[in-house]
């Protein structure tokens, strides 16, 4: 379904002006799916934050992020970009 919305043939009906395709877009159904996605995204973000030992996204620093330079070698973002 992806990669066709810019062609005016969006299979979901969101980005099309074609009335036939637009019939497939039901906002009453989609808002539930978007809300569920947002809740799951928030839950996953909280799990990542807790695994880093912080409580809010604003507490994350470059020391919490690793950049994979080679197949098995990770380098701290603080070492890659030492200045904010």
Read off the pLDDT of residues 59-76 as tens digits, 9 standing for 90 and up.
999 888 888 988 888 899
The structure tokens listed for 18 are 């074609």
The number of beta carbons lying within 10 Å of the beta carbon of residue 12 is: 16
Half-sphere exposure of 27 toward its Cβ, with a 13 Å CA cutoff? 1
Read off the pLDDT of residues 23-72 as tens digits, 9 standing for 90 and up.
777 788 888 888 999 999 999 999 999 998 999 999 999 888 888 988 88
Instruction: List the one residue out of 33, 16, 8, 13 whose CA is nearest residue 25.
Output: 13
pTM reported for the whole predicted model: 0.57
Q: Is residue 33 one of the residues assigned to a domain?
A: no
Count of domains for the chain: 1
Per the structure, the complete domain to which residue 84 belongs is given by: 60-84
Q: Is residue 19 one of the residues assigned to a domain?
A: no
Instruction: List the one residue out of 34, 24, 19 whose CA is nearest residue 1.
Output: 24
Q: Is residue 79 one of the residues assigned to a domain?
A: yes
Q: Is residue 65 one of the residues assigned to a domain?
A: yes
Q: Is residue 77 one of the residues assigned to a domain?
A: yes
Q: Is residue 22 one of the residues assigned to a domain?
A: no
């Amino acid at each position: 379904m992806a990669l066709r919305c810019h062609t005016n043939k969006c299979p979901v009906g969101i980005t099309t002006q074609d009335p036939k395709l637009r019939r497939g877009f039901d906002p009453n159904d989609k808002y539930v799916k978007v809300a569920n996605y947002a809740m799951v995204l928030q839950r996953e973000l909280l799990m990542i934050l807790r695994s880093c030992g912080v409580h809010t996204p604003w507490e994350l620093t470059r020391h919490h992020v690793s950049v994979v330079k080679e197949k098995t070698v990770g380098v701290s973002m603080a070492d890659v970009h030492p200045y904010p």
